[in-house]
Chains A and B, each alone.
Chain A
Amino acid sequence: MSDEVKSKSNSFMEKVLKFMEEKLAPTLGKFAQNKIVKTITNGMMGVIGVLVIGSFFLLIYVFGSNYLPFLKPLGPAALNGYQLTLGIVGLFVAASISGAYAKEYELDLVQTMLIGVGAFLLLTSKVEDGKIAIGNLGSSAMFTAIICSLVSGAIMKFCKDKKIYIRMPAGVPPAIEATFAFLVSGTIVFTLMWIVKSVLNIDVITAVVAIFAPLFSAAENIWVYTFRWIVGEVLWIVGIHPESIIDAITGPATTQWIAENAEAALAGAPIPHIWTPGLDRITVIVSSCYSLLYLMFRSKLKEMKALATASLLPVLFTIAEPLLFGIPIVFNPYLSLPWVLSIGAAAFANWGLTAIGLVPKWIVLLPWMTPAPFQAFLGTGGDLRGLILVVVDFLIGLAIYYPFWKMYEKSLLEKEKEKASEA
C-alpha cells in the first residue's frame, strides 16, 4: 500500500473508532447499567457454577457409556447427578435471578431468594402421587424462571416502597423482623402463582416458550451468529468489553440451548442447537489469538516475541486482553481489521461446518476459560471431530492476519531503524 493510501485509510479508521468511542460507548454504558439488564446478567452468571458441575456428571455418563468402560457402572449415578443440577436448571435460575434482583434493588437477599424459589415452584409444578415432574423445572422453564423472579421481585419491591408490611415492635431480632417484613409481599406473590397454576391450571411454561420460540429460532442462523461476532469484536477494538452487553442478551438463550442439547443427547434424540457457549469460546480465541501468537513468535521483533511469551498462558485460558491491550490491537489501524475479520470468518465457518454435520454440536457446558482444544473435545462429549474447528479457525486466522501483520511488522521495524539512526 502506498503511504498516501495508508494514511487515508488510517485516518478513516481513526474517525470510525472515535465515533464508536464517543457515541456508541455511552449508549452501551447506559444499557449495561440498566437494572433489569444487570439483574438478568448477574443472575445468569450466578448459575454457571451449578451448570458446569452438572456438566461434569454428564461427561462421566457420556464417557462411561462410550469410551471408558470402567466408568460405566457409575452411569445411573452420574445421570442422577446431572438431572438434579442441569436437569432442573430452571429452579437454580429462579434462585439466582431473585438474588440478583435483591442485590440490585436492595431487598433482603435471603427472603427474596426464598420467595422467588417458592414462586417458581408454585407457578410451574403440581404434586401428583407425592412427586413433581422435573421437566417443569428444567431448561424449558428457564425463561419462565426469569420472568417469574422479576415479577416476584417487583412485587416485593413495590410492597417495600409503599410500606406495605407488618411492623414489629422494637427489640425483635432483625432476622425475625425480616421474615415478617416480607410476609405480606410473599403472600401476594405466592397467592398469585398459586392461582395461576394450582387453581386455574395455566401452563405458563408452554406459553412462555411459545412466545419466545419464534424470536429465538429466527435468531438461530448463520447470519445472526456471524453478525453477533462481527459487532462484538468491533466493540472490542474500540476497547469496549462487549461480553457484558451482548451476553446479557444471548446468555439466557445459549444457556437454554446447551441444556436442551444435553437433554437431547441423553435421550438419544437428535441434538437441536448449534449456537452454544462452547462454540462461542472457540470462535472468539483461536482464529484471532492462536494465529497471532504464532506470527508473533516468528517475528524478528524481540518485543513481539517477548509479548507473545508473556501472553501465551492467558491466551491458552481464553484471555485475550494481553494481546488486545498489549500489542495493542485496540485502536490499531493495522491489526483491528484482521481481528474483526478473523473472528467473523471463524464464526461463519464454525457454524457452517457444524450445520453440514462435519463437526459435532456441543452437549456439555465447560468453564469459560477452558483451553480451546479441551473445549472442543470435552464439550462435544468426547468427539475428536470437534478439534477440526480449532484447526480450521487457526488456518483462517493465519490467512487473514498474515498480510496485515507483515505491514504492521514493517512499520515497527521502520520505526526502530529511525530511532537507531537518530540516536
Chain B
Amino acid sequence: MKILLVCQAGMSTSLLVEKMRENASSDIVIDATNVGEFHSKINDYDVILIGPQLRYRKAEYEKLSNEMGKPLAFIDPMMYGRLMGKEVLDEAIELVGKK
C-alpha cells in the first residue's frame, strides 16, 4: 500500500511520515510532498492524506479525489500536531479498506 501525505512545503508532514514509518509494516510505502507537486504524484498512491492547514481547499481536493478515484482525507489537527504516527497510519489503512 502506498500512502501520500501533502502539506504546504512537505516539511511538517515529513515529520509525521517518520513516525508513521516506525509503526508501519515493510510493505507500506509512505511519502510526503508539497502542494505544488501532489497533483502529478496522485496516480502513484493508494490514499492521500492532506495536512489540516490546507482545509480551505477542501472542495477542490474532494473533487480531485472523486475524479481520480483515490480516497483522500484531511489529517486530524491534533494527530497532526502531536505527530501521532500510529493513529494516522490506522486511519489511512481504514480509508483504503473502505474503497
- Is chain B a partner of chain A in the same complex? yes
> Footprint of B on A, CB under 8 Å?
25-26, 28-29, 32-33, 42, 45, 236, 239-241, 243-244, 307, 310, 314, 317, 319, 321-328, 330-331, 368-369
Complex Cα distance, B55 from A317, in Å, reads 23
Complex Cα distance, B78 from A324, in Å, reads 9
Interface contacts (Cβ under 8 Å), in number, total: 76
Candidate in A28, A319, A321 with the most chain B CB atoms within 10 angstroms: A321
Number of interface residues of B (CB under 8 A): 24
- Overall SS of chain B's interface: helix
- Determine if A241 and B53 form an interchain contact, defined as CB atoms under 8 angstroms apart: yes
List 17 A-B pairs, Cβ < 8 Å: A28-B56, A29-B58, A29-B60, A32-B57, A241-B8, A244-B35, A310-B82, A314-B15, A321-B7, A322-B83, A325-B82, A326-B83, A327-B81, A328-B77, A328-B78, A328-B81, A330-B77
Give the nearest-CB partner of A329 in chain B: B81
Give the nearest-CB partner of B58 in chain A: A29
B69 CB within 8 Å of chain A: no
Minimum-distance CB pairs A-B, first 4: A325-B81, A326-B81, A241-B53, A321-B12
Per-residue contact bits, chain B 52-96, to A (CB 8 Å; 1 contact, 0 not): 111111111000000000000000011011110000000000000
- Determine if B60 and A321 form an interchain contact, defined as CB atoms under 8 angstroms apart: no
- Determine if A319 and B11 form an interchain contact, defined as CB atoms under 8 angstroms apart: yes
- Determine if B53 and A25 form an interchain contact, defined as CB atoms under 8 angstroms apart: no
Which B residues are CB-close (under 8 A) to A328?
A: 77-78, 81
Give the nearest-CB partner of B79 in chain A: A325
Per-residue contact bits, chain B 26-69, to A (CB 8 Å; 1 contact, 0 not): 00000000011000000000000001111111111000000000
Complex Cα distance, B35 from A322, in Å, reads 19
- B20 → chain A closest CB, angstroms: 15
- Determine if A33 and B81 form an interchain contact, defined as CB atoms under 8 angstroms apart: no
Which A residues are CB-close (under 8 A) to B78?
A: 325-326, 328
Give the nearest-CB partner of B19 in chain A: A310
- A368 → chain B closest CB, angstroms: 8
- A294 → chain B closest CB, angstroms: 19
- Overall SS of chain A's interface: helix
Complex Cα distance, B9 from A177, in Å, reads 36
Which B residues are CB-close (under 8 A) to A240?
A: 53, 55-56
Assuming the A-B contacts A321-B81, A322-B81, are A239 and B12 also in contact, with contact meaning beta carbons closer than 8 angstroms in the complex? no
* Among candidates B7, B8, B52, residue contacting A239 with C-beta atoms closer than 8 Å: B52
Complex Cα distance, B50 from A114, in Å, reads 34
* Among candidates B51, B59, B83, residue contacting A29 with C-beta atoms closer than 8 Å: B59
* Among candidates A29, A239, A327, A368, residue contacting B53 with C-beta atoms closer than 8 Å: A239
Give the nearest-CB partner of A236 in chain B: B53
Give the nearest-CB partner of A324 in chain B: B81
Complex Cα distance, B55 from A99, in Å, reads 27
- Determine if B58 and A322 form an interchain contact, defined as CB atoms under 8 angstroms apart: no
Give the nearest-CB partner of A306 in chain B: B82
Assuming the A-B contacts A319-B11, A321-B51, A322-B12, are A26 and B81 also in contact, with contact meaning beta carbons closer than 8 angstroms in the complex? no
Which B residues are CB-close (under 8 A) to A331?
A: 77
Complex Cα distance, B59 from A358, in Å, reads 47
- Determine if B57 and A319 form an interchain contact, defined as CB atoms under 8 angstroms apart: no
- A148 → chain B closest CB, angstroms: 22
Complex Cα distance, B9 from A368, in Å, reads 10
- Determine if A325 and B77 form an interchain contact, defined as CB atoms under 8 angstroms apart: yes
Which A residues are CB-close (under 8 A) to B54?
A: 241
Give the nearest-CB partner of A25 in chain B: B56
- A344 → chain B closest CB, angstroms: 20
Complex Cα distance, B34 from A243, in Å, reads 13
Which B residues are CB-close (under 8 A) to A26?
A: 56, 59
- Determine if A323 and B56 form an interchain contact, defined as CB atoms under 8 angstroms apart: no
- B7 → chain A closest CB, angstroms: 8
Give the nearest-CB partner of A330 in chain B: B77
Which B residues are CB-close (under 8 A) to A327?
A: 81
* Among candidates A45, A307, A326, residue contacting B36 with C-beta atoms closer than 8 Å: A45
Give the nearest-CB partner of B11 in chain A: A319
Assuming the A-B contacts A33-B57, A244-B8, are A322 and B15 also in contact, with contact meaning beta carbons closer than 8 angstroms in the complex? yes
- A367 → chain B closest CB, angstroms: 11
Which A residues are CB-close (under 8 A) to B52?
A: 239, 325, 330
Which B residues are CB-close (under 8 A) to A323?
A: 81
Assuming the A-B contacts A324-B81, A325-B77, A327-B81, are A314 and B57 also in contact, with contact meaning beta carbons closer than 8 angstroms in the complex? no
